[in-house]
């Protein structure tokens, strides 16, 4: 790791061997490697001497070296293990790294001591081998090590609590789940720990065919004189060399894919596991799917829903008596007569009343074939809503052991004009949807609540005893069990105790403001009885918000969380004085507590596991997980277990290899079922999935089935090539294949990759079943015959285009539909979504193939937030069933916080009080870089960066494609006089055509160069006139009279010029007089030029090339900085990108 510290001088390489007595053949041979390329520990000689002594005393041979040239296949083969003794920095070259990888894969062993985790940060394989990289450390001090594995060779001799003096490392992430943890640090016994309740300090694991053991101890010379530490080291070496003790004590889990991809999940919202282990899961568009225990998926119900913003179909839950009554409950937004589009932000009560709606909780009956009878719907409860404005639906459903139904509801309040603080806008004429006091803090409203009712057999419900307000209490609703929530999106009830666990989202302010309230906080709540949980007056930590007068102040007093806030909003219809606010059970911020890591704030409350010793299941979780709460984090993409109780118990990572956790539930088999949202934006994508996580016993793990088909839709006869790529057995057992192409129960092929021709129209499911001889797994592929899936492409805006929040952004969408060449543009829906980290908030939408989206000036997030724009387009054809195509384009803000990179090399994000948002890129050395994707820089002519340096300074360069890719621009960075003294530097930029990954590359001399806070792009001044508009245009050819050259200059985005299907071709425009030309903007149709020239002429006969484009990728090419002159401008196409000709929607020229 790079540090602003002096690097000690290198020590000469040595090669020493200590041989045990002649009468005993050595048990094994180890190589001690202690090369350092960074800080050098003075304990290394003591460590070498100790290992040599241990070899003499325990009959193994020790060789030592600091010569990396010894890392060859031939030499490494002599050793049973290699001990990396406090190595630092980059110590091996690429060929030596490859040799060590081969050594481990051949069964070799690795033992890492202390700073071995501070080594080879740019070699990911090594990081996986070690288990985690070093992050930081406090000063050496006494601490208590909790020893968890009392059987392993390296820890069996240690006391359960081992108190010792050392330098205690914090690690970049918690390795639990990837390794078997032997011992942890008790952070309450020392200062400076950052990992919280679960701080591994020694671990081991089998890795890539070999063995790995690591200890964080060994900083001090005195460590190697401690008998307990010496035996700890001896046991670790024995495990690495011989496998002594094993590392198999940790539970093993297998993540079984049941359904995957948008065709099988839609946009995942909720799920319920049935008694037969099948899963019913919902998509926001109103589709319910059923996936059986073997992974076969079909549509169970299509429910008409209203889908503006976050509304639509939310959760589903099976009735406790499902085995006999076949009932399930759905929470959704019925269509009603709601107007399309957005509700007004200001107006009259009559204006707002047009958008009054409901979300409905209804009961449905599941047929024997696991489809749902739409005619069986029985309404249980309706929750009034304000439609047409975002956000916060909530919508999770669960039951307690007594049969009471719990429903979570969000505050139904727009947060985007509140600065990231509390939305309590009470102004006359303002849409009440901007005031959360009308819902979450209103005892007479069902929103922002946990509701508890007992459904009645004939519909409706009764009120169980013990809710927050008794029936008949004035200005209250008896359905309310707990209130004061913002968006309690996921909730579960522990049936053993009746305790309700809730994940409640909070607002997004990056910093506290004494005039507004605290910074963003969220929470996992543990609800043991009725109560008020604070929102919108008090945060997750029970910090008060301020009674602020919208839109610009003044600020009044802070709300009284301890005594009970007063709701005096004119929109309140409930009681005024509320109960004291309750603090969250496990509240957290973007960086605390450390055991939850850092990043976005998106809590997803999962279930509490209850072990059943009488359950006959080979996949149930072990008793060690009994009573643990499973917490999910959508944006941070983890699952963790938390000990339950009045205060949260130990927090530990759980092995999870999916993406964004949407829902979790334990099934009747004791396995954990997880609904994975995927990585799409309000539509699902290839990563959307349903998984079953099984505990694996000694009987072995199940095989893995993956199936794909090409194509998956089309007209008859349709020949589909199927693939089983990705299928296999994790234990290495041979597998067999069985394909059923029509789900009729017969095996149609046993080939791994067969083909099948469908000769009849219809919807089919092709199922692959693989078997290892003992266990099976299945995967399915939906096939639509008779209807080809449409395609959709966003031409405008360009993917990665820069913008400023509040801009109007033009869009143009191109749809191709084989069954309907004359595309009905009214079926095209385009959404603008405010992206934030890995989730988003739908803001507005439009219908049509072209138009304008107004991006809102963001009023919820502060300057430190990672926010951007997302344009989502979708088109559903008129087939039966309809097939939907989707496309997405990202809009990048013109000003970007540098710490929101996608990838990096050598960079550390550091806290900086003087940085915008409080964080910056630090510890930058020569050759380091960060990257961002996607970026389209058409029209950008300059850039700025905010930098600070007390070091050498250097150069900041912008490149595309790679750290050594084409240079767009650069700027010199001189020392600024201090690491907190930020200044702005600027440079010019030559924008490339198309969309790219953008790299900021840092170069200079030795040592730390400079810190980077943020960067921004300068747009060329908007042109006042397109001088080509309606000027005479001619072309080398036209595809037909319908596509003349004049169509490219008529200003109509729906008309175009199209050439014949040959190279070369040209189109030119006569500007009427000679003059300067600085910019040409081309908007391509699907048929575009990958190679072309922009040419100028004063007479229409002699042409000068002013710009050559190669590798064009279509869309919009905004060619600036031409510095040319002429009367005639020509685009001369030299290479078509497709089999068609050249086709331009618009050909614009600017002086």
Q: How far apart are CA 799 and CA 888, in angstroms?
A: 8
Over residues 1080-1098, the mean pLDDT reads 93
Structure tokens at 761: 């129209």
pLDDT greater than 60 at residue 705: yes
What mean pLDDT, rounded, does the chain reach? 91
pLDDT greater than 80 at residue 926: yes
Over residues 566-580, the mean pLDDT reads 98
CA angle 202, 203, 208 (to 5 degrees): 145
Q: What is the pLDDT of residues 992-1049, one digit of tens each?
A: 989 999 999 999 998 889 999 999 998 765 545 889 999 999 999 999 999 999 999 9
Q: Is 608 within the bounds of a domain?
A: yes
CA 39 to chain centre: 35
Q: What is the pLDDT of residues 455-512, one digit of tens each?
A: 999 999 999 999 999 999 999 999 999 999 999 999 999 999 999 999 999 998 878 9
pLDDT greater than 90 at residue 812: no
Residues 602, 684 within the same domain: yes
What pLDDT shows up at residue 10? 34
What pLDDT shows up at residue 8? 33
Pairing of strands 252-260, 689-696: antiparallel
Query: pTM of this prediction?
Result: 0.70
Q: How far apart are CA 641 and CA 655, in angstroms?
A: 10
Residue 322 belongs to domain with CATH number: 2.120.10.30
Among 886, 888, 908, smallest CA distance to 899 is for 908
Q: How far apart are CA 148 and CA 146, in angstroms?
A: 6
Over residues 783-797, the mean pLDDT reads 89
How large is the C-alpha radius of gyration of the chain? 32
pLDDT greater than 60 at residue 100: yes
Residues 551, 458 within the same domain: yes
Q: Is 276 within the bounds of a domain?
A: yes
Range of the structural domain that residue 35 is part of: 15-242
Residues 615, 685 within the same domain: yes
Q: Which residues of 162-187 are buried (b: 16+ CB within 10 A; e: fewer)?
A: bebbbbbbbbeebbbbbbbbbbbbbb
DSSP result, 192-261: ---STT--EEEEEEEETTEEEEEES---SGGGGG-HHHHHHHHHHHHHHHH-TT-S--S-EEEEEEEEES
Q: Given pLDDT bands bounded at 50, 70 and 90, which one contains residue 5?
A: very low
Q: Is 10 within the bounds of a domain?
A: no
Structure tokens at 48: 């070498």
- Is the separation of the CB atoms in 455 and 363 below 8 Å? yes
What pLDDT shows up at residue 161? 86
What pLDDT shows up at residue 1020? 62
Residues 978, 1039 within the same domain: no
Q: Given pLDDT bands bounded at 50, 70 and 90, which one contains residue 183?
A: very high
What pLDDT shows up at residue 711? 94
Q: Which residues contact 1058 (CB under 8 A, 6 or more apart)?
A: 1038, 1039, 1040, 1043, 1085, 1087, 1140, 1141, 1142, 1143
Among 626, 629, 612, 633, smallest CA distance to 251 is for 626
pLDDT greater than 90 at residue 578: yes
Q: Given pLDDT bands bounded at 50, 70 and 90, which one contains residue 250?
A: low
pLDDT greater than 60 at residue 11: no
Q: What is the pLDDT of residues 143-164, one digit of tens each?
A: 999 888 888 999 999 998 899 9
- Is the separation of the CB atoms in 205 and 179 below 8 Å? yes
What pLDDT shows up at residue 4? 30
271 φ, ψ to 5°? -155, 160
Provide the β-strand partners of residue 323. Answer: none
Residue that terminates a domain, selected from 761, 785, 809: 785
Over residues 865-883, the mean pLDDT reads 86
Beta strand spans in 495-635 (E): 500-505, 522-527, 531-532, 546-548, 555-558, 586-588, 603-608, 628-633
Structure tokens at 843: 């803001």
Q: Given pLDDT bands bounded at 50, 70 and 90, which one contains residue 251?
A: low
CA angle 402, 407, 408 (to 5 degrees): 135
Q: Given pLDDT bands bounded at 50, 70 and 90, which one contains residue 24?
A: low
Provide the β-strand partners of residue 784. Answer: 713, 763
Residues 38, 155 within the same domain: yes
Residue that terminates a domain, selected from 695, 727, 753: 695
What pLDDT shows up at residue 2? 35
Q: Given pLDDT bands bounded at 50, 70 and 90, which one contains residue 775?
A: confident
Residues 94, 125 within the same domain: yes
Over residues 1123-1140, the mean pLDDT reads 91
Eight-class DSSP state of 536: T
DSSP result, 784-810: EESBPPPEEEEEESPTTEEE-TT-EEE
Residues 766, 795 within the same domain: no
Residues 814, 916 within the same domain: no
Residue 1010 belongs to domain with CATH number: 2.60.120.260
pLDDT greater than 60 at residue 21: no
Q: How far apart are CA 482 and CA 409, in angstroms?
A: 11
Q: Is 1013 within the bounds of a domain?
A: yes
What pLDDT shows up at residue 911? 84
Over residues 638-666, the mean pLDDT reads 90
For the chain, percent of residues with pLDDT exceeding 90:
69
Least confident of 27-36, 691-700, 1011-1020: 691-700
> Which residue bears the tokens 């591994």?
200
Residue scoring higher pLDDT (534 or 195): 534
Q: How far apart are CA 671 and CA 617, in angstroms?
A: 9
CA atoms within 13 Å, Cβ hemisphere of 1038: 15
Among 414, 628, 421, 633, smallest CA distance to 520 is for 421
Provide the β-strand partners of residue 210. Answer: 207
Q: How many domains does the chain have?
A: 6
Residue 74 belongs to domain with CATH number: 3.40.50.880
Residues 356, 504 within the same domain: yes
Q: Is 1024 within the bounds of a domain?
A: no
pLDDT greater than 70 at residue 192: yes
Helix axes 44-58, 227-242, angle to 10 degrees: 70
Q: How far apart are CA 122 and CA 93, in angstroms?
A: 11
Residues 905, 886 within the same domain: no
Q: Is 1062 within the bounds of a domain?
A: yes
Residue that terminates a domain, selected from 644, 668, 695: 695
Residues 661, 536 within the same domain: yes
Q: Which residues contact 95 (CB under 8 A, 6 or more apart)?
A: none
Over residues 120-136, the mean pLDDT reads 94
Over residues 28-39, the mean pLDDT reads 96
Q: What helix, strand, coil percent values describe the chain, rounded to 5?
A: 10, 40, 50
What pLDDT shows up at residue 1082? 94
pLDDT greater than 50 at residue 789: yes
Q: Is 7 within the bounds of a domain?
A: no
DSSP result, 1041-1095: TTS-GGGGSSS-TT--EE--SSSSEEEEEEEEEEEEE-EEEEEE-SS-EEEEEEE
Residues 970, 984 within the same domain: yes
What pLDDT shows up at residue 505? 94
Residue 821 belongs to domain with CATH number: 2.60.40.10
Q: What is the pLDDT of residues 298-320, one digit of tens each?
A: 999 999 999 988 999 999 999 99
- Is the separation of the CB atoms in 805 and 855 below 8 Å? yes
pLDDT greater than 70 at residue 679: yes
Residue scoring higher pLDDT (746 or 1021): 746
Q: Is 701 within the bounds of a domain?
A: no
pLDDT greater than 90 at residue 861: no
């Amino acid at each position: 790791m790079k540090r602003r510290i002096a690097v000690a001088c290198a020590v000469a390489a040595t090669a020493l061997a200590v041989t045990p007595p002649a009468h005993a053949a050595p048990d094994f041979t180890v190589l001690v490697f202690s090369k350092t390329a960074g800080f050098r520990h003075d304990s290394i000689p003591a460590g070498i001497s100790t290992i040599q002594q241990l070899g003499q005393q325990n009959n193994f041979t020790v060789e030592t070296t600091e010569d990396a040239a010894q890392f060859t296949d031939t030499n490494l083969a002599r050793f049973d293990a290699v001990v990396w003794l406090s190595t630092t920095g980059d110590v091996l070259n690429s060929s030596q790294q490859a040799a060590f990888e081969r050594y481990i894969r051949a069964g070799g062993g690795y033992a890492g001591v202390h700073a071995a985790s501070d080594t080879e940060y740019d070699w990911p394989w090594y990081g996986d081998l070690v288990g985690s990289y070093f992050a930081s450390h406090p000063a050496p001090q006494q601490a208590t090590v909790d020893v968890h594995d009392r059987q392993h060779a390296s820890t069996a001799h240690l006391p359960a609590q081992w108190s010792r003096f050392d330098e205690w490392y914090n690690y970049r992430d918690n390795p639990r789940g990837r390794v078997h943890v032997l011992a942890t640090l008790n952070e309450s016994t020392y200062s400076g720990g950052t990992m919280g309740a679960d701080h591994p300090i020694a671990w081991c694991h089998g890795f890539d065919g070999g063995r790995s053991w690591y200890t964080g101890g060994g900083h001090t010379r005195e460590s190697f004189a401690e008998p307990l530490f010496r035996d700890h080291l001896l046991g670790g070496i024995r495990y690495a060399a011989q496998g002594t003790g094993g590392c198999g004590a940790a539970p093993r889990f297998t993540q079984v894919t049941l359904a995957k991809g948008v065709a099988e999940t839609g946009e995942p919202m909720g799920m319920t596991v049935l008694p037969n282990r099948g899963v019913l899961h919902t998509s926001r568009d109103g589709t319910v799917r059923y996936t059986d225990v073997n992974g076969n998926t079909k549509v169970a119900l299509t429910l008409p829903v209203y889908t503006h913003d976050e509304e639509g179909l939310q959760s589903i839950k099976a009735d406790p008596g499902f085995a006999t009554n076949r009932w399930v409950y759905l929470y959704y937004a019925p269509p009603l007569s709601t107007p399309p589009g957005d509700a007004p932000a200001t107006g009259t009560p009559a204006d707002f009343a047009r958008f009054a709606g409901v979300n409905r909780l209804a009961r449905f009956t599941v047929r024997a074939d696991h489809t749902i009878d739409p005619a069986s719907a029985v309404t249980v409860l309706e929750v009034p809503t304000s439609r047409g404005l975002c956000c916060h639906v909530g919508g999770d459903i669960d039951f307690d052991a007594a049969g009471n139904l719990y429903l979570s509801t969000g505050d139904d309040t727009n947060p985007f004009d509140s600065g990231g603080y509390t939305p309590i806008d009470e102004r006359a004429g303002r849409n009440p949807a901007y005031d959360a006091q009308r819902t979450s803090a209103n005892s007479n409203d069902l929103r922002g609540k946990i509701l508890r009712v007992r459904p009645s057999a004939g519909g409706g419900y009764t009120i169980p005893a013990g809710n927050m307000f008794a029936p008949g209490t004035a200005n209250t609703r008896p359905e309310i069990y707990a209130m004061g929530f913002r968006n309690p999106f996921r909730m579960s009830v522990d049936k053993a105790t009746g305790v309700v666990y809730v994940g409640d989202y909070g607002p997004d302010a990056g910093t506290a403001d004494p005039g507004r309230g605290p910074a963003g906080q969220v929470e996992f709540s543990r609800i043991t009885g009725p109560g008020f949980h604070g929102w919108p007056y008090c945060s997750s930590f029970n910090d008060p918000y301020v009674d602020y007068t919208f839109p610009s102040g003044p600020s009044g007093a802070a709300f009284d969380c301890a005594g009970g806030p007063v709701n005096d909003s004119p929109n309140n219809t409930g009681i005024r004085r509320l109960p004291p606010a309750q603090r969250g059970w496990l509240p957290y911020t973007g960086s605390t507590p450390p055991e939850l890591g850092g990043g976005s704030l998106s809590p997803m409350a999962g279930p509490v596991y209850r072990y059943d010793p009488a359950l006959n299941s080979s996949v149930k979780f072990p008793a060690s997980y009994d009573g643990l709460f499973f917490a999910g984090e959508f944006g941070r993409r983890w699952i963790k277990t938390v000990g339950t109780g009045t205060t949260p118990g130990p927090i530990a990572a759980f092995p999870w290899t999916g993406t964004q956790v949407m829902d979790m539930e334990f099934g009747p088999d004791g396995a954990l079922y997880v609904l994975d949202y995927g990585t799409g934006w309000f539509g699902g994508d290839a990563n959307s999935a349903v998984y079953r996580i099984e505990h694996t016993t000694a009987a072995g793990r199940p095989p893995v089935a993956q199936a794909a088909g090409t194509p998956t839709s089309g007209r008859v006869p349709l020949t589909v090539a199927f693939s089983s790529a990705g299928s296999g057995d994790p234990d290495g057992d041979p597998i067999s294949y069985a394909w059923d192409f029509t789900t009729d129960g017969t095996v149609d092929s046993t080939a791994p990759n067969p083909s099948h021709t469908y000769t009849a129209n219809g919807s089919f499911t092709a199922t692959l079943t693989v078997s290892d001889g003992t266990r099976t797994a299945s995967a399915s592929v939906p096939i639509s015959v008779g209807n080809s899936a449409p395609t959709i492409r966003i031409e405008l805006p360009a993917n990665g285009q820069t913008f400023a929040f509040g801009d109007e952004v033009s869009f143009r969408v191109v749809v191709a539909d084989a069954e309907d060449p004359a595309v009905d543009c009214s079926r095209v829906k385009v959404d603008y979504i405010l992206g934030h980290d890995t989730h988003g908030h739908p803001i507005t939408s439009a219908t049509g193939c072209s138009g304008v989206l107004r991006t809102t000036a963001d009023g919820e997030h502060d300057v430190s937030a990672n926010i951007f724009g997302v344009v989502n387009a979708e088109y559903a054809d008129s087939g039966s069933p309809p097939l939907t195509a989707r496309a997405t384009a990202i809009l990048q803000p013109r000003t970007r916080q540098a710490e929101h990179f996608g990838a990096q090399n050598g960079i550390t994000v550091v806290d900086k009080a003087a940085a915008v948002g409080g964080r910056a890129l630090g510890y930058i050395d020569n050759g380091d870089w960060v990257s961002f994707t996607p970026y389209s820089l058409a029209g950008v002519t300059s850039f700025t960066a905010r930098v600070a340096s007390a070091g050498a300074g250097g150069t900041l360069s912008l490149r595309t494609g790679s750290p050594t890719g084409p240079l767009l621009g650069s700027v010199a960075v001189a020392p600024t006089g201090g690491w907190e003294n930020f200044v702005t530097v600027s440079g010019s930029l030559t924008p490339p055509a198309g969309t790219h990954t953008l790299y900021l590359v840092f170069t200079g001399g030795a040592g730390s160069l400079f810190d980077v806070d943020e960067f921004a792009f300068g747009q060329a001044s908007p042109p006042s006139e397109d001088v080509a508009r309606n000027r005479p245009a001619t072309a080398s050819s036209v595809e037909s009279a319908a596509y003349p050259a004049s169509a490219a200059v008529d200003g109509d985005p729906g008309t175009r010029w199209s050439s014949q299907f040959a190279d070369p071709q040209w189109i030119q425009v006569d500007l009427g007089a000679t003059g300067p030309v600085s910019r040409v903007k081309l908007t391509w149709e699907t048929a575009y030029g990958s190679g072309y020239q922009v040419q100028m002429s004063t007479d229409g006969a002699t042409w000068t090339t002013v710009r050559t484009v190669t590798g064009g990728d279509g869309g919009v090419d905004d060619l600036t900085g031409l510095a040319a002159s002429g009367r005639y401008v020509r685009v001369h196409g030299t290479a078509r990108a497709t089999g068609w000709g050249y086709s331009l929607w618009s050909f614009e020229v600017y002086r």
